[in-house]
């Protein structure tokens, strides 16, 4: 007891007396810390500090406040936004023929261009004071999603001016004169914007763009002014072929020190009319056979006045921060909207097709192999819609949650890729024959584009989600990095010392907390609700604590090496991502009134998320280089093993049953899907055939009973069976007419397109045009 008392007193003195603690504890740890965590570059620091920490911070720190999650306002359209959906959007949808747009015209028709400009589709984010719609993020997202279920080309065309580009940058950073000049013409469609960031030598590594601007004097409007001489070469620029105003990102240099004492000012953004002398709009790209405008732009020794910098001369060199902040918001609207649209149309049409298409005497949707894939389609679509709404809702709270939007971009585009592959498997031959009757092909072609843009998915998962999340979401690491980078060593040591005890306490709390939750399997965690979903809150709290603990150990053991161990850090990114996906689903379920019919979809998503978390942790433990620490973490977090399982077959069958019959659940899950009213529209044709077959179910039972009784023969064309059933008085005349009409709809719905000789050749592109 005496020894123990002496030890306690010694520790109290060491940690309690500031000078002793700094000398014996803080200073050695600080020295090691500075070695293992090298200082951030300027571009890394700006990217790290850009945006806001939101719900991702709660998840990362190990103690998510579920009441806080439920207190976030529900993202909903206001009356003006809903009226726009009901009128302008629906009118536009009826004007679109996506097959003609993509395969024949390779552009939107002139009347469509005129309509979207006139009706303010390009002005959704622009304030009303400048003639814009000033819509919310959820409205922007919902409008783009709805249009994308009809035409990806139209959706992308509308999406880009309302995402990262001149309008967004002007609203946040533009001078009053720039806003007054450009926002009204952007709002009414007189000007069409594009933003040129990506080039041949800089894609995901946008910070290394080779395009340059040099501050110098030159002639503009007949006068000598201070300006910039630009040289650039950009590609993959959406709307470039039709743009009238070019947003341009470049590195700005000031060798003559005309603006200050720096030679290199950094990335800068300027706004340039495409009619300006020297601006070249180059060739058009043809991304995955899609018809939206995309192409190149370049310029050599183009002189612009200094006040064309977005924000004016004082924003010279601040472009990278501007881009990262705007991209983190735009990334949460545009691509999630497209991914969700893929889910809505794939779910509604595949559920219908599974019922309409028959093989071996029954609807293929009855086969368990098909049901497994269809359940995945429906389950993922529910998750997509939940993430879309929650992420857009964060942006409407005037936040720019960079980690959350990176999660949304990566996982939602990957989820759409998975479910579209499943939809193709179920549709089989109908999916692969391109033509007016194919409602999946163009969405399938567009998925790789979403995977690639706004940060390629490999980069997003392996570097951005955890790399940024580990520093931004952690309560102490970013401040510790700033202390390490402090040029005043003594001041830096004091800053670090003030954080050290808090960090130690945080780590100890997570260590013992993770062990307790592992031993109790999270049973004593609280949940904000009762019922079937309560257990999920408890498990997510447990896994949040496990993430906080694993992240701290990873940064402690690996330090700066963790940045290069991308496969390892990506697994922790997966844990954070699945925690966010699960949170979004639970909030979505609560916000929509805890609908009983949604429960199979909720169970599917939560069980899948927990299974993916367990798999990510298992891969993390197996590959962590320090085997002692790996075994310790596994024992602390999962003392009885990782017990999470994928959803069972019962849940899959329940999802399929909901998607294979008309009803409120199916309508709610796929409410954004466009269904054409024209009898030749492929979605309307499939929907009508599905409804007709479902309505004829009682009549088909009469026929099946007669076949089993031997009154009617089996295995013959349905039309012939209907005639024989009428003759045998199994059905009456009205019933025979209903079945005949149903059979015609069924056959037309499962039919695919074919083309007469020479038709496709007349529509094709020559190799010279491609070059």
Task: Quote the pLDDT of residue 3.
Answer: 76
Residue entry with tokens 């609700």: 529
User: Mean per-residue pLDDT for 143-157?
Assistant: 97
Percent of the chain residues past pLDDT 70, beyond the cut: 92
pLDDT at 520 over 90: yes
Task: Quote the pLDDT of residue 459.
Answer: 82
User: Mean per-residue pLDDT for 607-633?
Assistant: 96
135 backbone dihedrals φ, ψ, rounded to 5°: -80, 160
Burial annotation 77-98 (CB, 10 A radius, 16+ → b, else e) = beeebeebbeebbeebbeebbb
Question: What would the pLDDT profile of 410-419 be if each residue is shown by its tens digit?
Answer: 999 999 999 9
* Active site residue ranges: 454
Question: What would the pLDDT profile of 744-763 be if each residue is shown by its tens digit?
Answer: 999 999 999 888 888 777 77
User: Mean per-residue pLDDT for 32-39?
Assistant: 60
User: Mean per-residue pLDDT for 255-266?
Assistant: 93
User: Mean per-residue pLDDT for 430-446?
Assistant: 94
Chain mean position to CA 360 = 40
| 38-73+333-678 CATH choice from 3.40.50.300, 1.20.140.10, 1.10.10.10, 1.10.357.10 | 1.20.140.10
Q: What is the dihedral of CA 89, 91, 97, 102, to 10 degrees?
A: -40
Burial annotation 688-700 (CB, 10 A radius, 16+ → b, else e) = bbbbbbbebeebe
- CA gap 62, 70 in Å, rounded: 18
Task: Quote the pLDDT of residue 474.
Answer: 81
- CA gap 582, 90 in Å, rounded: 32
Q: CB of 576 within 8 A of CB of 59?
A: yes
pLDDT at 766 over 60: no
- CA gap 389, 335 in Å, rounded: 13
Task: Quote the pLDDT of residue 770.
Answer: 37
Question: What would the pLDDT profile of 81-122 be if each residue is shown by its tens digit?
Answer: 999 999 999 999 999 999 999 988 999 999 999 999 999 999
User: Mean per-residue pLDDT for 669-692?
Assistant: 93
User: Mean per-residue pLDDT for 169-174?
Assistant: 93
By the 10 Å C-beta count (0-12 exposed, 13-18 middle, 19+ buried), 212 is classed as middle
Helix-helix angle 733-750:718-727, to 10 degrees = 180
**Cβ of 593: how many Cβ atoms within 10 Å?**
8
- CA gap 595, 592 in Å, rounded: 7
If we measure between CA atoms, which residue out of 267, 204, 190, 266 comes closest to residue 236? Answer: 204
Task: Quote the pLDDT of residue 457.
Answer: 86
| 79-173 CATH choice from 1.10.10.10, 1.10.540.10, 1.10.3720.10, 3.30.70.20 | 1.10.540.10
Handedness of CA 301, 307, 308, 309 (dihedral sign): positive
Element housing 212 (H / E): strand 212-220
pLDDT at 704 over 50: yes
Task: Quote the pLDDT of residue 522.
Answer: 94
Question: 195 forms bridges with which residues in the sheet?
Answer: 247
Q: CB of 674 within 8 A of CB of 623?
A: no
Task: Quote the pLDDT of residue 367.
Answer: 95
- CA gap 468, 47 in Å, rounded: 8
pLDDT at 234 over 90: yes
358 backbone dihedrals φ, ψ, rounded to 5°: -120, 140
Q: Report angle CA 547, 552, 554 to the nearest 5 degrees.
A: 95
Instruction: Name, in order, each residue with C-beta under 8 angstroms of 714's C-beta and a sequence gap of 6 or more.
Output: 361, 707
pLDDT at 720 over 90: yes
Q: Confidence class of residue 767 from pLDDT cuts 50, 70 and 90?
A: very low
pLDDT at 512 over 60: yes
The residue count of the chain comes to: 771
- CA gap 434, 752 in Å, rounded: 8
Q: Which of 360-369, 464-473, 502-511 has the lowest mean pLDDT?
A: 464-473
Task: Quote the pLDDT of residue 30.
Answer: 67
pLDDT at 602 over 90: yes
**Cβ of 395: how many Cβ atoms within 10 Å?**
26
Residue entry with tokens 């965690």: 525
136 backbone dihedrals φ, ψ, rounded to 5°: -75, 170
User: Mean per-residue pLDDT for 335-343?
Assistant: 96
- CA gap 387, 585 in Å, rounded: 7
- CA gap 174, 177 in Å, rounded: 8
Q: Which of 130-144, 327-341, 353-367, 471-485 has the lowest mean pLDDT?
A: 471-485
Instruction: Name, in order, each residue with C-beta under 8 angstroms of 187's C-beta and a sequence gap of 6 or more.
Output: 120, 122, 123, 126, 130, 131, 132
The structure tokens listed for 413 are: 């585009």
Q: Report DSSP letters for 222-253, one per residue.
A: TEEEEEEEEEEEEEEEETGGG-SEEEEEEEEE
Q: CB of 528 within 8 A of CB of 66?
A: yes
User: Mean per-residue pLDDT for 447-464?
Assistant: 85
Fold match between domain 38-73+333-678 and domain 79-173: no
pLDDT at 40 over 80: no
Cα→Cα distances 542→535, 572, 644, Å = 11, 15, 13
User: Mean per-residue pLDDT for 329-345?
Assistant: 91
Instruction: Name, in order, each residue with C-beta under 8 angstroms of 147's C-beta and a sequence gap of 6 or more.
Output: 89, 92, 93, 154, 155, 158, 341
Instruction: Decide yes or no: CATH 3.20.20.80 for domain 193-327.
Output: no
Model-level pTM? Answer: 0.92
* pLDDT averaged over every residue in the chain: 90
3-state DSSP helix/strand/coil % of the chain, to nearest 5: 65, 10, 25
Alpha helix ranges (H) inside 108-151: 110-118, 137-148
- CA gap 373, 422 in Å, rounded: 6
Residue boundaries of the structural domains of the chain: 1-36, 38-73+333-678, 79-173, 193-327, 696-750
Task: Quote the pLDDT of residue 768.
Answer: 39
Q: CB of 92 within 8 A of CB of 154?
A: yes
Element housing 580 (H / E): helix 566-591
If we measure between CA atoms, which residue out of 554, 402, 560, 497 comes closest to residue 39? Answer: 560
The structure tokens listed for 197 are: 């960031």
SS3 305: strand
User: Mean per-residue pLDDT for 463-476?
Assistant: 78
pLDDT at 45 over 60: yes
Task: Quote the pLDDT of residue 475.
Answer: 80
User: Mean per-residue pLDDT for 148-164?
Assistant: 93
The structure tokens listed for 551 are: 């992240």
Question: What would the pLDDT profile of 529-585 be if each residue is shown by its tens digit?
Answer: 999 999 999 999 999 999 999 988 888 788 767 777 889 989 999 999 999 999 999
- CA gap 516, 23 in Å, rounded: 34
231: left (phi over 0), alpha (psi -120 to 50) or beta: beta
- CA gap 343, 443 in Å, rounded: 10
């Amino acid at each position: 007891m005496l020894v123990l008392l002496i030890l306690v007193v010694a520790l109290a003195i060491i940690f309690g007396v500031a000078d002793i603690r700094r000398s014996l504890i803080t200073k050695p740890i600080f020295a090691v810390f500075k070695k293992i965590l090298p200082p951030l570059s300027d571009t890394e620091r700006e990217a790290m500090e850009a945006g806001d920490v939101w719900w991702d911070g709660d998840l990362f720190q190990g103690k998510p406040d579920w009441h806080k999650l439920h207190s976030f306002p529900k993202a909903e359209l206001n009356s003006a936004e809903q009226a726009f959906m009901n009128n302008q959007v629906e009118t536009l949808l009826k004007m679109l023929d996506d097959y003609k747009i993509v395969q024949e015209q390779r552009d939107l028709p002139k009347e469509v261009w005129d309509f979207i400009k006139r009706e303010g589709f390009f002005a959704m984010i622009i304030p009303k004071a400048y003639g814009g719609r000033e819509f919310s993020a959820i409205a922007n997202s919902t409008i783009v999603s709805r249009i994308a279920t009809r035409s990806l080309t139209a959706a992308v065309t509308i999406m880009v001016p309302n995402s990262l580009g001149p309008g967004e940058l002007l609203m946040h950073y533009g001078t009053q004169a720039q806003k007054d000049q450009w926002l009204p013409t952007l709002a009414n469609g007189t000007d069409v914007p594009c933003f040129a960031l990506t080039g041949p030598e800089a894609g995901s590594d946008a910070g290394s763009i080779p395009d340059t601007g040099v501050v110098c004097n030159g002639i503009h409007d007949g006068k000598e002014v201070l300006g910039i001489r630009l040289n650039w070469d950009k590609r993959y620029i959406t709307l470039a072929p039709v743009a009238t105003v070019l947003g341009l990102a470049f590195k700005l240099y000031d060798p003559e020190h005309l603006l200050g004492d720096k030679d290199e000012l950094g990335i800068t953004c300027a706004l340039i009319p495409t009619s300006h002398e020297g601006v070249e709009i180059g060739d058009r790209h043809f991304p995955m056979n899609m018809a939206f405008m995309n192409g190149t732009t370049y310029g050599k020794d183009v002189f612009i006045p200094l006040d064309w910098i977005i924000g004016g001369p004082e924003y010279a060199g601040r472009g990278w921060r501007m881009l990262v902040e705007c991209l983190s918001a735009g990334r949460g609207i545009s691509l999630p909207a497209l991914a969700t649209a893929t889910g809505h149309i794939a779910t509604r049409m595949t559920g219908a097709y599974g019922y309409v298409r028959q093989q071996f005497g029954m609807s293929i949707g009855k086969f368990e192999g098909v049901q497994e894939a269809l359940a995945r389609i429906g389950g993922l679509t529910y998750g997509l819609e939940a993430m879309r709404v929650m992420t857009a809702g964060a942006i409407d709270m005037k936040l720019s949650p960079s980690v959350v939007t990176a999660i949304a971009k990566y996982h939602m585009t990957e989820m759409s890729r998975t479910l579209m592959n499943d939809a193709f498997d179920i549709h089989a031959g109908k999916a692969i024959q391109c033509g007016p009757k194919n409602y999946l092909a163009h969405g399938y072609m567009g998925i790789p584009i979403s995977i690639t843009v706004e940060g390629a998915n490999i980069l997003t998962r392996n570097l951005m989600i955890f790399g940024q999340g580990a520093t931004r979401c952690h309560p102490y690491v970013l401040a510790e990095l700033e202390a390490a980078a402090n040029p005043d060593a003594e001041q830096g040591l004091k800053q670090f010392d003030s954080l050290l005890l808090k960090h130690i306490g945080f780590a100890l709390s997570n260590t013992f907390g993770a062990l307790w939750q592992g031993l109790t399997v999270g049973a004593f965690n609280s949940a904000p609700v009762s019922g079937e979903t309560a257990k999920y809150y408890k498990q997510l709290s447990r896994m949040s604590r496990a993430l906080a603990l694993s992240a701290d150990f990873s940064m402690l053991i690996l330090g700066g090496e963790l940045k290069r161990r991308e496969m390892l850090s990506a697994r922790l990114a997966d844990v954070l991502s699945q925690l966010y996906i699960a949170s979004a689903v639970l909030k979505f379920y609560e916000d929509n009134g805890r609908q009983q019919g949604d429960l199979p979809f909720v169970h599917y998503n939560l069980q899948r998320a927990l299974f993916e978390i367990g798999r990510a942790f298992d891969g993390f433990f197996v590959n962590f280089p320090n085997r002692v620490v790996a075994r310790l973490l596994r024992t602390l977090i999962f003392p009885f093993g990782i017990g999470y399982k994928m959803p069972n077959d019962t849940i899959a069958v329940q999802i399929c049953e909901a998607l294979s019959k008309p009803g409120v659940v199916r309508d709610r899950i796929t409410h954004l899907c466009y269904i054409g009213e024209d009898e030749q529209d492929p979605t309307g044709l499939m929907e009508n055939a599905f409804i007709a077959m479902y309505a004829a179910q009682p009549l088909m039972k009469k026929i099946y009973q007669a076949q089993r009784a031997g009154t009617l023969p089996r295995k013959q064309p349905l039309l012939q069976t209907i005639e024989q059933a009428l003759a045998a008085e199994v059905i009456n005349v009205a019933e025979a007419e209903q079945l005949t009409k149903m059979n015609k709809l069924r056959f037309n719905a499962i039919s695919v397109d074919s083309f007469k000789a020479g038709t496709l050749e007349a529509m094709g592109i020559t190799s010279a045009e491609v070059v």
